[in-house]
Amino acid sequence: MRAYFRNIYAAVSTILIGMRITFKEMFHPSVTNQYPYQYYFEKRKNVRGIHKGFRGQLYIRMEDCIGCKKCAMICPVDCIYIETSRLEKGITLSDTRAVVRLKDQTVWIGELLEGDEKIEPGTVVKLRDLDGNLHESPSEHVEHVVTSKKRRLKLDRFDIDMSLCMFCGLCTEVCSTSCLYMTQTHEFSTYDRASLLFHFADPSIYEGLTPDETETKAEDGADASEGRKQKAARRRQREETA
């Protein structure tokens, strides 16, 4: 008999405990993110944004590509298509820019002042970036350094088929100049499979170059094609006045 009433008491009291919890929960703010409308989660402590090492959509800085095709070769699914041709005789392009990547995934791009690809312990890596800011870091914090390289090939085609890409990141690891990298972009779905073939080759980089212009090594660090265009424009002006 006692067990009978104890059973009733247990049932009623535990139901009340459960009901108290659900009632309290009604007044908690919801944890829902209204995804496409509410994208970044600054106000939420429990939801983190995208991590720094996230492997998203591929992107390449064409003005730093030397056309070595290492990425196309290592790609397990062959989704990178590169066609190169030789530069006409006498034409030189600007050197590629140096890249320093730190272990916390910070990337600096610009002119390397101190340090080398072989990272000696105890030394300092120094780099002036495109805006002229000076960065330096002890070599223990540096993941890798890519020094500036000469560009001898013209890229006629650099296509990446993101519909095939498996986001392994091998191409970015082998890239000689660290100009191929994975962005954090991950929302690039389209209605059409063909539009996932991204064309990166930029013929404008090679525009306005004439064979006699041997001195156009961009010392300025800034966007190479931009600098060259300005120089070409200045030259044309000079010829007109003469």
Partner 1 sequence: MELLSSLIFMLVIAAALLGFVMLLALILVLAERKVSAYMQDRVGPRRVGPFGSLQTIADAIKLLLKEDIISLQADRKLFILAPYLVFVSSFAVFAAIPFGRNLIASDINIGILYIMAISSVVVLGIIMAGWASNSKWALLGAMRSAAQMVSYEIPLALSILSVIMLVGSLRMQDIVGAQSGGLFSAQNRWILLDNPFTFLAFFIYFISALSEVNRTPFDLPEAESELVAGFHTEYSGMRFALFFLAEYANMFAVSAIAVTLFLGGWSGILPGYTFLNGVPGFVIKVSVLVFVIMWLRWTLPRLRVDQLMSVCWKYLIPIAFFNLIGVGVWILIFD
CB 41 within 8 A of CB 51: no
Chain residues in the site for partner 1 (CB under 8 A):
8, 15, 18-19, 21-23, 25-32, 34
Residue with smaller CB distance to partner 1, 29 or 121: 29
Closest CB to partner 1 among 37 and 191? 37
CB 208 within 8 A of CB 225: no
Closest separation in Å from C-beta 2 to partner 1? 15
Nearer to partner 1, 23 or 51 (CB): 23
Taking the least distance from each CB to partner 1, the nearer of 4 and 241 is 4
Minimum distance of partner 1 from residue 45's CB (angstroms) = 14
> Rounded to the nearest whole angstrom, what is the least distance from the CB of residue 20 to partner 1 in the complex?
9
Distance (Å, whole) CA 29 – CA 22: 13
Task: Put residue 194 in one of left, alpha, beta given phi > 0 → left and psi -120 to 50 → alpha.
Answer: alpha
Burial of 225 (0-12, 13-18, 19+ CB in 10 A): buried
Six-digit token string for 39? 């994208």
Q: Counting every residue, how long is the chain? A: 242
CB of 129 to partner 1, least distance (A): 44
CB closer to partner 1, 12 vs 134:
12
Rounded Cα–Cα distance for residues 139 and 40 (Å): 34
Nearest distance in Å: CB 18, partner 1: 5
**End-to-end alpha-carbon separation of the chain, Å?**
117
